[in-house]
Amino acid sequence: MGDLLRSGPAPRARLRELLAAPDPVVAPGAYDALSARLVEQAGFDVVYMTGFGTTASLLGRPDVGLLGGAEMVDNARRIVAAVDVPVIADADTGYGNAINVVRTVQSYEQAGVAGVHLEDQVMPKKCGHMSGKAVIGTDEMAGKIRAAVAARRDPDFLVIARTDAAAVEGLDAALERARAYADAGADLLFVEAPTSEDDIARVARELAGVAPLVFNWAEGGRTPPLPLDRIAELGFSLVLFPIGTLLAATTGIRALLAALRADGTPAGALPGVPSFDEFTDLIGLPEIRSLEERFGA
């Protein structure tokens, strides 16, 4: 996992194979290289680079469009380098117009990402589960999707079209936009933040056969937390769990710091956390030692 000297199937082709299977692909969120390695080591076949988590980890700020494309691509590149499984990345609005989208897609592709999702929000964007969002016109977004499809050099690179229109214009408009984005060439469709199980089922029903569908199981967000078997029954192909790793890390860090503040040392919070040797093993020290022996370092 995450070998420095890699072998095995190409991640993009592997992702296409996974999405063609009958069961939905589960992609937990990672906000940095370490969390991505943990996702892979837990046995998951795909890593999702969360924009929310990337913003929180790099800036300590909310996901309100503060990061630029170069910063997001840099994080994606580090995550891709840390794992062997495919990485799907948040590419926000594409960071500009259709011409900017061309550069964005090419940059993510050069970083080794297996696919990106682009959303139809106005810049600066907001997290899809926040209030106060605004969307661009359908035709403008369809042009961005066409630009993304034309920009990719590897046909296995996935272009996922996300619409945030449900919260702004209603579900009817979001479904209409999704169909337009499929016509523009999107590989998957992502209707963000439906707020009831009936709405989720309607998305699945009305977009069945149009393109494979993404379900965003946003931890604590506005979408009901359906069981995975129900999501599979509805026919979704890709399920994102974007920020659970970030929230869990926050909980653990808080607990350790509270113990340190109260007791003067973190000893009370250390039971249950990895030992020093366990941690260096999980981040690949045995592989480094093997390479030292192999190459005579």
Could you read off the pLDDT of 263-295 as tens digits, one per residue? 999 999 999 899 999 999 999 999 999 999 999
Q: Is residue 1 part of a domain?
A: no
Q: How confident is residue 6, by pLDDT bands cut at 50, 70 and 90?
A: low
Strand-strand pairing, 238-241 and 213-216 = parallel
Q: Is residue 6 part of a domain?
A: no
What is the mean pLDDT of the segment spanning 237-259?
97
Of these residues, 77, 117, 129, 152, which one is catalytic?
117
Q: Which residue is associated with the tokens 């069961």? A: 23
Domain around 270: 251-296
Give catalytic status of residue 127 as yes or no: yes
Note whether 150 and 24 are same-domain residues. Answer: yes
Note whether 74 and 142 are same-domain residues. Answer: yes
Count other Cβ atoms within 10 Å, centred on residue 189.
25
Give catalytic status of residue 119 as yes or no: yes
Of these residues, 109, 120, 152, 216, which one is catalytic?
216
Tokens of 245: 């790793």
Structure confidence at residue 4 (pLDDT): 72
Q: What is the pLDDT of residues 16-58, one digit of tens each?
A: 999 999 999 999 999 999 999 999 999 999 999 999 999 999 9
Give me the CATH number covering residue 102: 3.20.20.60
Structure confidence at residue 297 (pLDDT): 56
Structure confidence at residue 88 (pLDDT): 98
Give catalytic status of residue 75 as yes or no: no
Of these residues, 40, 119, 164, 187, which one is catalytic?
119
Give catalytic status of residue 117 as yes or no: yes
Of these residues, 32, 37, 48, 95, which one is catalytic?
48
Number of domains in the chain: 2
- Say which residues have a Cβ less than 8 Å from residue 23's Cβ, sequence separation at least 6: 232
Note whether 242 and 256 are same-domain residues. Answer: no
88 three-class SS: strand
Of these residues, 63, 109, 164, 187, which one is catalytic?
63
pLDDT at position 3 over 90: no
- Say which residues have a Cβ less than 8 Å from residue 2's Cβ, sequence separation at least 6: 37, 40, 82, 83, 84, 284
Q: Cβ(104)–Cβ(147) under 8 Å?
A: no
